[in-house]
């Protein structure tokens, strides 16, 4: 509990500092969701099920979250700036500790608005607590979102995992609906033959879904996640 309290204090403390320099300080949204994580390929004797609860708050250009549980416990703080064209430039810092996944990551990203498309690029740096190889890993990604309606869009995103046995993931997704009512379906083939998929949705305040990822943040598990929760706009 002491560790969880420190994570909460750190995440929201940094968020308050970042928000104090802006004119728009009002809280925009609150997101609370529960994850049920299952490893479909867990070897005998290894724990194969975890429960996580995530609490996320967002301001106009800053967000902070805390995850309490047994798999992905930790805290995250992120923010972005938007230029006159509507393009974004963001920075994200996350620390995971006390659960199954233990690492620190820093991500720099951008989303460039081009007519009905948004082109994105990101570089994430990982410092795993228990590395399989190098102590520092660079994970580049790039993608494009094409809006064919006001809130409906198709996505192609490519992520390169630097570990030799993993490969490159191609995430193909389609979201249909509005900002508060939508369905998102995706498939994620990888060059080593693994295939992930996901189905997510939201209806007003309520959200939920299921996803399968054969790898996740430098762990070696066949990860299946059910989640449910709500998102409330202030």
User: pLDDT tens, 157-172?
Assistant: 999 988 877 889 999 9
| Sequence ranges of the domains in the chain | 2-233
Q: Where are the beta strands (DSSP E) in the chain?
A: 29-39, 49-58, 62-69, 74-82, 88-96, 103-114, 117-128, 137-147, 153-161, 167-177, 181-189, 195-203, 206-213, 223-233
Global pTM reads: 0.84
Lowest mean pLDDT among 3-17, 21-35, 79-93, 197-211: 3-17
The answer to whether 50 and 70 have CB atoms below 8 angstroms apart is yes
2-233 CATH pick, 2.10.10.90, 2.40.160.40, 2.60.40.1080, 3.90.180.10: 2.40.160.40
Name the more confident of 18 and 202: 202
Given the structure tokens 């393009």, which residue do they identify?
87
Task: Show the tokens assigned to 88.
Answer: 């974004």
Name the more confident of 23 and 134: 134
C-alpha distances out from residue 176 to 31, 147, 153, Å:
21, 10, 7
Task: Show the tokens assigned to 129.
Answer: 């607590």
pLDDT above 80: residue 5: no
Q: β-strands 49-58, 74-82: how paired?
A: unpaired
Q: What is the pLDDT of residue 11?
A: 46
Residues 185 and 175: their CA atoms lie apart, in Å, by 7
End-to-end Cα separation, the chain, in angstroms: 29
Q: What is the pLDDT of residue 170?
A: 96
Long-range contact pairs involving 124-132 (C-beta distance under 8 Å, separation at least 24) = 126/217, 126/218, 127/103, 128/102, 128/103, 128/218, 129/97, 129/102, 129/103, 130/102, 131/218, 132/163, 132/218
Name the more confident of 178 and 218: 178
What is the per-residue pLDDT across 113-142, written as a single tens digit (0 to 9) for each? Answer: 998 999 999 999 989 887 766 678 899 999
């Amino acid at each position: 509990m002491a560790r969880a309290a420190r994570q909460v204090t750190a995440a929201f403390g940094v968020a308050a500092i970042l928000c104090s320099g802006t004119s728009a300080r009002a809280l925009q949204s609150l997101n609370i969701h529960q994850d049920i994580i299952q490893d479909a390929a867990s070897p005998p004797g290894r724990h194969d099920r975890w429960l996580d609860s995530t609490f996320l708050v967002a301001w106009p250009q800053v967000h902070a979250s805390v995850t309490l549980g047994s798999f992905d416990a930790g805290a995250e703080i992120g923010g972005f700036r938007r230029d006159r064209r509507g393009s974004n430039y963001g920075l994200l810092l996350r620390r995971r500790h006390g659960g199954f996944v233990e690492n620190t990551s820093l991500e720099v990203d951008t989303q460039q608005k081009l007519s009905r498309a948004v082109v994105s690029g990101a570089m994430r740096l990982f410092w795993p607590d228990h590395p399989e190889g190098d102590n520092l890993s660079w994970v580049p990604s790039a993608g494009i979102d094409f809006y064919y309606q006001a809130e409906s869009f198709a996505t192609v995103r490519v992520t390169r995992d630097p570990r030799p046995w993993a490969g490159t993931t191609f995430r193909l997704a389609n979201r249909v609906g509005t900002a508060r009512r939508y369905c998102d379906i995706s498939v994620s083939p990888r060059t080593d033959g693994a295939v992930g998929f996901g189905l997510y949705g939201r209806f007003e305040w309520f959200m939920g879904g299921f996803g399968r990822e054969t790898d996740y943040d430098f762990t070696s598990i066949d990860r299946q996640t059910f989640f449910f929760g709500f998102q409330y706009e202030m």
